Structure 1
Amino acid sequence: MQETPMLFPMSSVEFWKQIKTIMEEVVEQKLNASIKKELPHSHLPEKALLKATEVCQIFQVSKPTLYEWMRQDKLKSFKIRSRRYFCRADIEAMINHPPVVNH
């Protein structure tokens, strides 16, 4: 293949390396931006398991309210020794699809 002359102060190999690097950076920025849009609950801690106090802060409710949700099966939890934990995925699901309030 015949090399096309270019009016840049660099070799064509170097030019294409720079283009590739720029494209990779742009794609990475776009991917990161789309991931942030898909995770609207970025205020949630990154841990897989959350403590009751953390869940109370997320929903801005008291512990008695949280325990009432658990009693009503609106939110699942489990105990490890004397502590109660909640799965981050369950919290995100509750945020995305809040339970129906019966009056």
Structure 2
Amino acid sequence: MTEFPMMVPMTQTEFWDKMQRVVEKVVEAKLTTATASTPTLIPEKALLKASEVCTIFQISKPTLYEWLKQNKIASFKIQSRRYFARTDIEAIIRQNHKKFKQ
């Protein structure tokens, strides 16, 4: 790294170290605030109804049933009602989150 004259009473390395610490503190504070203020959209129960899954993914019921046809999401029926396992929904969210981060 080439040295440039600076108008602050520290070396360039000290300046960049301080800048890095400041940025890390700000990012950590934002992440803490974001996780603390973001409510969980997934209800705390093992089985979810189609309407609840639609709310979680912010999709319509026809889209949900299209996902079922395409095997993008799994469900099962109990009598005439269709249910979705909470663990399956969380796995889909984690899987897509990992794809999005890459």
Greater helix fraction, Structure 1 or Structure 2: 2
TM-score, normalization by structure 1: 0.55
Q: State the AA in 2 paired with 1:84.
A: R
Work out whether residues 53 and 63 of structure 1, in 8 Å CA contact, stay in contact via their aligned partners in 2.
yes
Q: CA RMSD in A?
A: 2.2
2:58 maps to what in 1?
60
Q: CA separation in 1, counterparts of 2:42 and 2:64?
A: 17
Determine which structure has more spread, i.e. the larger CA radius of gyration: 1
Query: Where does structure 1 lack aligned partners over 5 or more consecutive residues?
Result: 1-36
Matched pairs, number: 62
1:73 maps to what in 2?
71
Alignment of 1:1-103 (within 5 A): 42-98=40-96
For residues 20-76 of structure 1, give each alpha carbon's deviation from its aligned partner in whole angstroms, at most 9, with x where no partner exists: xxxxxxxxxxxxxxxxx7xx8832100000000000000000001000111111100
Query: Where does structure 2 lack aligned partners over 5 or more consecutive residues?
Result: 1-34
User: Does the residue aligned with 2:83 lie in a helix, a strand or coil?
Assistant: strand
Q: CA separation in 2, counterparts of 1:81 and 1:57?
A: 23
TM-score, normalization by structure 2: 0.55
Identity %: 64
